[in-house]
Structure 1
Amino acid sequence: MWISAARPGRTHDITAARRDRILAHLRAAGLGALADLGFIGLDDDGDDPVVVTGFKATRARKLAPAEREANRILAAGRAPVERGFAHLKNWRILIKLRTGPALATHLLRALLILTNIEATTGN
């Protein structure tokens, strides 16, 4: 799991990813990211995508069986991350956080490490 730097005010995830040049950093490190359908269009490089999103069905176009299977596999890969963020929300420590974005980023990353430890040890 990874978390980007906190920003003051309301900033959409895609805007923050573009502003922080996340795709360039991931590509340079040889890494990739699994993302939900809200990130469709963030990574338009069809030959070497860094951000992997699922397939979106519409009323006019149903998903093929292979696309449904790809969405299922992607959801299974994202499940631990979603569980980690659910832990962060359940701890309710972020509700009354009154600090600057830099300190909030350090706090969130420390909590994410603790969540990773809890997830891997099963305690």
Structure 2
Amino acid sequence: MLFYRAAVDLSRATLNYLAGVLRRYRKTIRSPWRRLNAGQQALLVLVYLRKGETFAELAAGFGVSTATAWRYVRETVKLLSARSPKLGQALRKAKKDGLHYLVLDGMLIPTDRVKADRPYYSGKHRVHGMNIQVIASPDGTIIWTSGSLPGKTHDLSAARIWGILRELEEVGILTLADKGYQGAEGPLITPYKGKNKPESQKQANRSHARLRGPGERANAQLKSWRILRKLRCCPLKAGHLCKAIAVLQNYEVAQG
């Protein structure tokens, strides 16, 4: 096997943050010694999430077994996912922070499922994957991400399953969404549908898209972590991966 030096486009602050999370966890469970120290484990996990390398490649690069690399990633993703806010908590904080509106959008995480796995097939995207719901601020900051549902799940159905519409109504914060959520109850505003719309509706749709567009960049931020471009692991882990990545992405952005 050949080896080479490579870079990861993340800040040192993000590495230190994740290493600190792991050090505190190791101290809590009284696990002072491992093959890799907390900083090395943090780097291994960041490489996996950001670059999407396989466990075999990670293991070779960091001098550990494939099983150890898998175990380190699973442990760290679990710790980060637990730091992701609950839906109600995230919405209440958004309102307290003075956000005038939010943006709700669905995202499909492609998987390597075979054709026989029909529940994972999205007719809209024509690919097998998992449906993730993302709520973002008007500037694209990730507020909250949902768990995962099979790719065939409609966005509006997913929003109802996760209780998003109910929580939005309780908090009373205006939320913009695309046409996939049309028919939703509560403070969710979607564009007008249909052909030959009057000019007033066309103008409303243009304004709606202009306000919604920056918020929908949150999905692009998540997809910049290459592990989410095509999952090779169990599809049910997609939700935990998104939550973990959202925590890291928000921290990375906060560091400027």
Q: TM-score normalised to the size of structure 1? A: 0.70
- The equivalent residue for 1:96 is 231
Residue type at the aligned position of 2:203: E
1:45-60 maps to which residues of 2 (within 5 A)?
49-58=186-195
Which structure carries more strand by proportion?
Answer: 2
Q: Distance in 2 between matches of 1:99 and 1:51?
A: 32
The alignment partner of 2:145 has SS state of coil
RMSD: 2.7
The answer to whether the Cα contact below 8 Å between 1:54 and 1:71 also exists between their aligned partners in 2 is: yes
- The equivalent residue for 2:174 is 32
User: After TM superposition, where is structure 1 displaced by more than 3 Å over at least 4 residues in a row?
Assistant: 112-121
2:216 to 70, 82, 92: 82
Higher RCO (C-alpha under 8 Å, 6+ residues apart): 1
Q: Which consecutive unaligned segments of at least 5 residues does structure 1 have?
A: 44-48
Q: Distance in 2 between matches of 1:119 and 1:79?
A: 19
Residue type at the aligned position of 1:32: L
In the alignment of these two chains, the number of paired residues is 113
Instruction: Rate the CA distance shift 1:96–1:5 in 2: closer, same or farther, 3 A.
Output: closer
Q: Does 1:16 align with 2:162?
A: no
The alignment partner of 2:242 has SS state of helix
Q: Distance in 1 between matches of 2:151 and 2:208?
A: 30
Q: Distance in 1 between matches of 2:246 and 2:192?
A: 28
CA shift digits 1:40-94 (9 cap, x unpaired) = 1122xxxxx4110011132xxx222221121111111211232221233343211
Q: Distance in 1 between matches of 2:198 and 2:163?
A: 33
Q: Who wins on radius of gyration, i.e. which is larger? A: 2
Q: Distance in 2 between matches of 1:54 and 1:119?
A: 30
Q: Distance in 2 between matches of 1:65 and 1:113?
A: 42
The answer to whether the Cα contact below 8 Å between 2:225 and 2:245 also exists between their aligned partners in 1 is: no
The answer to whether the Cα contact below 8 Å between 2:156 and 2:181 also exists between their aligned partners in 1 is: yes
Q: TM-score normalised to the size of structure 2? A: 0.37
Q: Distance in 2 between matches of 1:73 and 1:117?
A: 31
Q: Which consecutive unaligned segments of at least 5 residues does structure 2 have?
A: 1-135, 137-143
Instruction: Rate the CA distance shift 1:117–1:84 in 2: closer, same or farther, 3 A.
Output: farther
The Cα of 1:99 is off from its aligned counterpart by 4.4
